[in-house]
């Protein structure tokens, strides 16, 4: 079981490594380092289980499962931290990436940065931006721009407030999301 989980996590990490390429090198996948990271520590068995359930449900749901959201969010948060994001910024980045990759949100951790991530990743809405197409040539520049924006928020927190004002009418994001999830 752990062997299969390692293979799946490595495959997902290698994909993220390609997406993050323009932001810096997140390094080779090291299972033990991931398990010892603050993103997983104490939840190792849970991550292995989620990874296996993600794999089992993939033929039916693709990335649109809670397990995939959890796995993708953890890996993207870990990757964002490796390219220099603060812990909080990396977590928000991971939640945002999990949202755009799976179409799911964490209702217990919903925050404006997730919605801003979505709007910046899909400026015309997910359907208009071919939601299912996660080709690296399309994703890499978006990840780079979002990474720079999140780092800028870390360096100048007042700019996050300015961006929130620009996206003040966040209900439009939810309306866009409701339309594509029907």
Convert the pLDDT of each residue in 17-57 to its tens digit: 999 999 999 999 999 999 999 999 999 999 999 999 999 99
Greater confidence (1 vs 16) lies with: 16
Cα torsion 112, 122, 9, 105: sign: positive
Domain count, the chain: 1
Which residue has better confidence, 129 or 139? 139
Question: Domain containing 171: what range?
Answer: 2-180
Claim: this prediction has a pTM higher than 0.75: yes
- pLDDT tens column, 53-93: 999 999 999 999 999 999 999 999 999 999 999 999 999 99
Which of 168 and 149 is assigned the larger pLDDT?
149
- Contact indicator for 106, 77 with CB cutoff of 8 Å: no
To the nearest 10°, report the CA torsion of 22, 25, 29, 30: -160
pLDDT-based confidence at 4, cuts 50/70/90?
very high
63, 117 contact by CB (below 8 A): no
Determine the longest span between alpha carbons in the chain, in angstroms. Answer: 47
Quote the percentage of the chain above a pLDDT of 70: 85
Distance of alpha carbon 147 from alpha carbon 22, whole angstroms: 10
């Amino acid at each position: 079981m752990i062997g299969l989980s390692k293979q799946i996590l490595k495959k997902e990490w290698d994909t993220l490594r390609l997406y993050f390429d323009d932001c810096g090198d997140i390094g080779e996948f090291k299972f033990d380092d991931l398990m010892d990271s603050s993103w997983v520590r104490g939840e190792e068995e849970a991550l292995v289980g989620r990874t296996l359930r993600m794999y089992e449900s993939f033929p039916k749901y693709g990335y649109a499962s809670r397990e995939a959201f959890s796995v993708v969010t953890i890996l993207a948060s870990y990757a964002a931290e490796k390219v220099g994001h603060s812990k909080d910024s990396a977590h928000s980045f991971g939640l945002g990436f999990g949202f755009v990759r799976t179409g799911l949100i964490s209702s217990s951790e919903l925050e404006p940065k997730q919605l801003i991530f979505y709007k910046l990743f899909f400026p015309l809405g997910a359907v208009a931006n071919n939601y299912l197409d996660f080709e690296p040539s399309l994703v890499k520049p978006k990840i780079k721009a979002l990474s720079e924006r999140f780092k800028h928020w870390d360096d100048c927190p007042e700019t996050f407030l300015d961006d929130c004002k620009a996206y003040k009418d966040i209900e439009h994001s939810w309306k866009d999301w409701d339309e594509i999830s029907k």
